[in-house]
Structure 1
Amino acid sequence: MNAVILAAGKSTRTYPLTVNKPKSLLKVANKHVIKYNLDALKGLVKEVIIVVGFCKDMIKAELGNEYEGMKIIYAEQEEQLGTGHALLAAEPFVDERFFVMMGDDIYSKEDIRKLLMHRCAVSAKKVSDPSSFGIWIVENGLVRGYEEKPENPRSDLANPGLYVLTRDIFPHIRSLQKSPRGEYELNEAVNNLAKDIDIHCVEIEGWIPIGYPWDVLDANEKILESHKGIVKGLIEEGVVIKGEVSIGMNTLVKSGSYIEGPVIIGDNCVIGPNCHIRPKTSIGNDCHIEFGVQIKNSVIGDGVNIKHLSYIGDSVIGDNVNIACGTITANLRHDGNSVSSFVKGQKIDTKRRKFGTVIGEGAKTGIGTLIYPGRKIWPGKTTLPGEVVKDDIM
């Protein structure tokens, strides 16, 4: 049996993190999203077909042709026309029965095993706001319908994006009409196939969705809940480490620094002196966190420099960003309400009481920059010394 990972699309809802990279290559707790899914497949399938499109060469360069003993085959979706269209690209390579998953959310091995107990199956997860999701309609454990973000949902079973299918799906994909958003939807084809054969609906628990930039923080928190620390770097005298903390190879933590786990710090970093790294923080490789910096509940990319006396809270910082001294991320509204952020021109409630900023790769802040909660800075953009960022910088 083999598996298909759909990783061809360009995610605009997760801008500015995915302007120049596919969402499957975002890092959570210092590990690429797609690698969590490859690890979940390990031991369950013999090979993986990855459908690529946007930034395909980045994915190929990162993964190569083999992962932990599993052969990797790449199928190209030249034009991104939806999940059904993407699966057609993998048709020449799949077995009679095969597994399908999205490449940009995180799933568990236990949930995959549950689906594989059936010849054909889809995954489902009960949600409190079903009108925000694609919804399965189920009777006696079998798929009986599908609705995409219905105003009046008939079910609370969201579709996380895991499937066990047979090659019978392909004629149904070919007969699809474009959806209102101009795509050929795999879920509609599955719904049509369910009229011919039994497709079981399996409720899962380990789904970590990443739909918006701030979902990276939620994913990071969940992964770190089970993290077990290991220290490989050099720790100077006078450093305090509490809880589950991992410190990578050739990383130096200077005197006076205080680190409260769960925390992951990558390889070849310099931390301190006198830094405070608070819980649920991930810091990538080749980072320099200077004197008097406090970081809390944040995801810091590779090659990031955070200069002295800065505060980064509840934020996602892309690769190779330079945070100038005295940069402050505000992360809390005065009224205590959840922070909102604009996505594609629409104001979205993040449902997070605390949320700082999202900064795209290669951006730079000027000294003394202040960033309002929920504001974002696009890749390569800059701020002036003393600038107050009240709106997204695009």
Structure 2
Amino acid sequence: MSNRFAVILAAGQGTRMKSNLYKVLHPVCGKPMVEHVVDNISKLQVNEIVTVVGFGAEIVRQHLGGKSSFVIQEEQLGTAHAVMQAKEALGDQKGTTLVICGDTPLITSETMSALIKQHEETGAKATILTAIAENPNGYGRIIRNSDGAVERIIEHKDANEEELCIHEINAGTYCFDNETLFEALENVTNENTQGEYYLPDVIAILTAKNELVTAFQTDDFEETLGVNDRVALSEAERIMRKRINEGHMRNGVTLIDPANTYIDQDVMIGQDTVIFPGSCISGKTMIGEGCEIGPNTEISNCEISHNTKICQSAVYDSVIGANVKIGPFAHIRPETTIDDEAKIGNFVEIKKSKFGKGSKASHLSYIGDADIGKDVNIGCGSITVNYDGQNKHLTKIEDSVFVGCNSNLVAPVTIQKGSYIAAGSTITDDVPKDALAIARARQVNKENYAKKLNSTN
């Protein structure tokens, strides 16, 4: 196999997005567009990926990290000019170079691989990815000669009426013989209506020299979608979400209403899990087998074990065990670990806490900065008072503790194993093992006092 390289064009500001965010960093299914492109290229065993950046260069570097090297296009003078910025990195290399735009997140690694395969097997100097568009408005057209061979590409703005009727469009992705590419780029001019150096002009330069230029036509026009505005961004999101959801369903996951289920690219879900409508599952979330998620549940960057049910709740950056029940209307905040067989009920909030096996907080509680043992019962309305106005403090509740309703546990405090907290107590001191703690005012009944009050009114 010959050397393989990739150049990603990601220098455009994207003014039509009307955004302060650099265009190629707009996310599609939870991942920046350009990262989709880089990750798909990485599956092709390329020797080097070079990303051409301009506006927002440092932010792109931060997102892609070590996945790519980078070159700067100081002035945006067209796609040919952008590729020329990679000459110092790749110009003297032998092999095949894939050139692709960073705003085309839907092109799959399979299509890229097929494009490269045809290019290398035919010995072409250039191979163009094309598609048939029902409405080709805005796309460059593929001009073929009488024998059907590719002759040139004409940009939409430079096409005449006859050329505008052509439906085979340039997808903006190419394979080149690397040395031939950089030689031809030296001869590209900016004699066009935009005054830019167009990469498609390389095709006309090569055909004029009788070099072999071929086209690989994808059957899926949707793959070629370039995202230039919010409308196209929404369409890319819809298409990719459909792909992702179909992939999970084919792998044994039930989606009750796929059109209203939102799952990010990197999410992993085990078989026989059921996802109900309105659920959003994002980030690096991993969900085990036999779970039930939703409806209307948000999960981000979580690890969830088998047979757990999460209903109408929000769970972030946490680890949830097996056979756990959460919700409805629970809020699990970051750095929480909930062990197997626990129950977190309605209107319970947990933050930065460990919640032990078989423990329960069935309703209306706040648990923050706490270490909860196994088989603990947290009564309705109970809270860990973790903040003194300056610092957060730990509440430790050991195994088999019963916390009565409407209790305040003022941290730092330890409730030892097997003890009981009487309902309505405010606990400020440690509670010994197997003790009953009562910390509330004694009830006083004043007989007939209500009659006295009423008589004065």
TM score, norm. by length of structure 2: 0.50
Whether contact under 8 Å (2:278, 2:294) holds in the other structure is no
Higher helix share: 2
Letter paired with 2:172:
G
The 4+ residue runs of structure 1 with deviation greater than 4 A are: 229-232, 242-245, 247-251, 272-275, 283-286
Indicate the structure whose relative CO is greater, using CA pairs within 8 Å and at least 6 residues apart.
1
Aligned partner of 1:130 in structure 2 is 136
Q: Spell out the pairing of 1:325-344 with structure 2 (5 A cutoff).
A: none
Q: Write the distance in 1 (CA, Å) between the matches of 2:28 and 2:317.
A: 13
1:289-317 CA-partner distances (Å, limit 9, x unpaired): xx9xxxxxxxxxxxxxxxxxxxxxxxxxx
Does the alignment pair 1:160 with 2:171? Answer: yes
Q: Write the distance in 1 (CA, Å) between the matches of 2:282 and 2:75.
A: 42
Kindly tell me: are residues 216 and 131 of structure 1, through their superposed partners in 2, closer, same or farther at Cα, counting changes over 3 Å?
closer
Q: Write the distance in 2 (CA, Å) between the matches of 1:174 and 1:190.
A: 13
Q: Write the distance in 2 (CA, Å) between the matches of 1:285 and 1:125.
A: 41
Letter paired with 1:44:
Q
Whether contact under 8 Å (2:9, 2:101) holds in the other structure is yes
Q: Spell out the pairing of 1:65-104 with structure 2 (5 A cutoff).
A: 65=66, 67=67, 72-94=68-90, 95-96=93-94, 97-104=96-103
Aligned partner of 1:198 in structure 2 is 212
TM score, norm. by length of structure 1: 0.58
Q: 1:189 aligns with which of 199, 202, 209?
A: 202
Q: 1:231 offset after TM fit, Å?
A: 6.4
Q: Which has the larger radius of gyration?
A: 2
1:214-264 CA-partner distances (Å, limit 9, x unpaired): 1111111111113237569xxxxxx9824986355799xxxx96339xxx8
Q: 1:163 offset after TM fit, Å?
A: 0.6
Whether contact under 8 Å (1:173, 1:189) holds in the other structure is yes
Q: 1:220 aligns with which of 237, 252, 258?
A: 237
**Aligned pairs, how many?**
262
Aligned partner of 2:276 in structure 1 is 241
Q: Write the distance in 2 (CA, Å) between the matches of 1:92 and 1:240.
A: 50
Structure 1 unpaired stretches of 5+: 233-238, 278-282, 292-394
Kindly tell me: are residues 44 and 257 of structure 1, through their superposed partners in 2, closer, same or farther at Cα, counting changes over 3 Å?
closer
Whether contact under 8 Å (1:146, 1:187) holds in the other structure is yes
Kindly tell me: are residues 141 and 56 of structure 1, through their superposed partners in 2, closer, same or farther at Cα, counting changes over 3 Å?
farther
Kindly tell me: are residues 207 and 183 of structure 1, through their superposed partners in 2, closer, same or farther at Cα, counting changes over 3 Å?
same
Q: Write the distance in 2 (CA, Å) between the matches of 1:244 and 1:142.
A: 49
Q: 1:146 offset after TM fit, Å?
A: 1.8
Kindly tell me: are residues 250 and 48 of structure 1, through their superposed partners in 2, closer, same or farther at Cα, counting changes over 3 Å?
closer
1:127-176 CA-partner distances (Å, limit 9, x unpaired): 12224211111245532122211352252111111111122233432331
SS at match of 1:164: strand
Structure 2 unpaired stretches of 5+: 254-267, 287-292, 303-309, 319-328, 330-457
Aligned partner of 2:37 in structure 1 is 37
Kindly tell me: are residues 130 and 64 of structure 1, through their superposed partners in 2, closer, same or farther at Cα, counting changes over 3 Å?
same
Aligned partner of 2:441 in structure 1 is none
Aligned partner of 1:62 in structure 2 is 63
Q: 1:48 offset after TM fit, Å?
A: 0.1
SS at match of 1:64: helix
Aligned partner of 1:364 in structure 2 is none
